[in-house]
């Protein structure tokens, strides 16, 4: 059904499978939060996870970079392959995995440090640079990618928490981008932002697609329709339907999907 790709390959087509999940189950203590999820996430594509609250979409997202490891009661079973390598293998260090699979959270959470240090933190701890000039360069390109450079270039030493909500979220995106991840996970990145900031971040997501595989969890179906190429609909811990965004929103196969996108459940 899918073959193991070579991760070092420079030019990958849009059909290249970046993450393959097979039979993923998640339990939070007694609660069965995610039931038997199979998904292929493509490279250079924006994949949106939609569904009502508590449906397991964020849970699944957090499985992809093993952030669920920090929740002591969470148990994950099944198989998630990143470029053909099982990320739940005993030999995999989640810390190393998270450098490859970056994450942006629901609430903007910049470190209470300077804007520069926020962006430079990832490259520093992963030893990506050898000199200050190289680091400066990474900070600048990351901030440019996050469309924040022009607003903050004169005040890089000011604290990141002093920025507006939308700027903070873009700073968080720049911070995630700076470690040069291969996949970028976004957990409702716009839910705390106003419409203008949301539009900026959405535009940004579309640009980021050229470099990464982007997975976004969202509550807004319009947003999913606007930014994504593939959409997965989750309901009560099940992956109900996964298809091209166009198909999901115009011609859903499952009645539950149709109910949700027409606003009758959720």
Partner 1 sequence: MTDISPTPAAMPRTHGLSGSLLTESPLMKSRNAAEARFRSYGIAAIVVALLTLAIMLFTILRDGTSAFFQATLSYPVLIDGAIVDKGGKADPAEMAKVTTISYARLLGDSLIKHLADKGIAVEGMTPKEVTDMISKDAPARLRDQVLADPSLVGKTINVNAFVGGRIDGYMKGRLTRESSANDSNVTPRQLDMADKMIEAGILRSKFNWSFVTAPDASDLRPEAAGLGVALIGTLYMMFLVLIFTLPIGVAASIYLEEFAPKNWFTDLIEVNISNLAAVPSIVFGILGLAIFINFAGLPASAPLVGALVITLMTLPTIIIATRASIRAVPPSIRDAALGVGASKMQTVFHHVLPLAMPGILTGTILGLASAIGETGPLLLIGMVAFVTNYPAGPLDGGFLDPASALPVQVYSWASRSDPAFIERSSGAIIVLLILLVIMNVSAILLRRRFERRW
**What are all long-range contacts of 85-93, with beta carbons under 8 Å and residues at least 24 apart?**
none
Does residue 201 touch partner 1 according to CB under 8 A?
no
Determine the distance from the C-alpha atom of residue 178 to the mean position of all C-alpha atoms in its chain, rounded to a whole number. 14
Does residue 265 touch partner 1 according to CB under 8 A?
yes
Query: CB-wise, 115 or 172, nearer to partner 1?
Result: 172
Q: Candidates 45, 58, 59, 65: give the one binding partner 1 (CB under 8 A).
A: 65
Binding residues for partner 1, how many (CB under 8 A)? 32
d(Cα 185, Cα 179) in Å, to the nearest integer? 13
Beta-bridge mates of residue 79: 22
Please report which helix (H) or strand (E) contains residue 169, including its range: helix 165-178
Does residue 179 touch partner 1 according to CB under 8 A?
yes
Contact indicator for 192, 220 with CB cutoff of 8 Å: no
Shortest CB 197 distance to partner 1, Å: 18
Query: CB-wise, 167 or 245, nearer to partner 1?
Result: 167
Letters for 25-64 (x = contact with partner 1 by CB under 8 A, - = none) are ----------------------------------------
What is the sign, positive or negative, of the torsion defined by CA atoms of 135, 137, 140, 145? negative
Tokens of 85: 């390598």
Q: What is the dihedral of CA 48, 53, 55, 59, to 10 degrees?
A: 70
d(Cα 162, Cα 176) in Å, to the nearest integer? 19
Does residue 88 touch partner 1 according to CB under 8 A?
no
Does residue 152 touch partner 1 according to CB under 8 A?
no
Which 100-129 positions form the footprint of partner 1 (CB under 8 A)?
A: 102-105, 107, 109-112, 121-122, 125-126
> Given strand 183-187, what is the order of strands in its sheet?
85-86, 74-82, 17-28, 31-42, 238-244, 230-235, 46-50, 213-217, 183-187, 101-104
Does residue 211 touch partner 1 according to CB under 8 A?
no
Query: CB-wise, 110 or 237, nearer to partner 1?
Result: 110
Window of 13-21, 90-98, 141-149, 201-209 that interacts with partner 1 by CB under 8 A? 90-98
Q: Candidates 18, 44, 57, 98: give the one binding partner 1 (CB under 8 A).
A: 98
Q: What's phi and psi for 94, nearest 5 deg?
A: -55, -30
Letters for 242-261 (x = contact with partner 1 by CB under 8 A, - = none) are -----------------x--
Contacts with partner 1, residue ranges (CB under 8 A):
65, 67, 70, 72, 95-99, 102-105, 107, 109-112, 121-122, 125-126, 159, 161, 172, 175-176, 178-179, 259, 264-265
């Amino acid at each position: 059904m899918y073959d193991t790709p070579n991760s070092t390959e420079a030019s990958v087509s849009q059909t290249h499978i970046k993450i393959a999940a097979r039979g993923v189950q998640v339990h939070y203590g007694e609660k069965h939060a995610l039931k038997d999820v199979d998904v292929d996430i493509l490279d250079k594509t924006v994949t949106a996870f939609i569904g009502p609250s508590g449906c397991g979409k964020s849970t699944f997202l957090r499985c992809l970079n093993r952030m669920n490891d920090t929740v002591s009661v969470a148990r994950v079973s099944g198989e998630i392959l990143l470029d053909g390598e099982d990320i739940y293998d005993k030999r995999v260090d989640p810390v190393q995995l998270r450098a490859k699979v970056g994450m942006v959270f629901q609430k903007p959470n910049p470190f209470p440090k300077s804007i520069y240090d926020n962006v430079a933190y990832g490259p520093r701890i992963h030893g990506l640079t050898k000199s200050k000039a190289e680091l400066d360069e990474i900070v600048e390109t990351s901030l440019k990618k996050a469309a924040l450079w022009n607003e903050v270039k004169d005040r890089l030493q000011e604290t990141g928490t002093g920025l507006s909500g939308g700027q903070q979220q873009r700073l968080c995106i720049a911070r995630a981008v700076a470690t040069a991840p291969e996949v970028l996970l976004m957990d409702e990145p716009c839910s705390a932002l106003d419409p203008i900031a949301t539009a900026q971040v959405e535009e940004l997501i579309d640009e980021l697609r050229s470099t990464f595989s982007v997975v976004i969890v969202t509550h807004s179906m319009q947003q999913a329709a606007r930014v994504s190429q593939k959409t997965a609909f989750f309901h009560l811990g099940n992956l109900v339907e996964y298809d091209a965004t166009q198909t999901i929103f115009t011609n859903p196969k499952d009645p539950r999907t149709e109910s949700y996108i027409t606003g009758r459940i959720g």
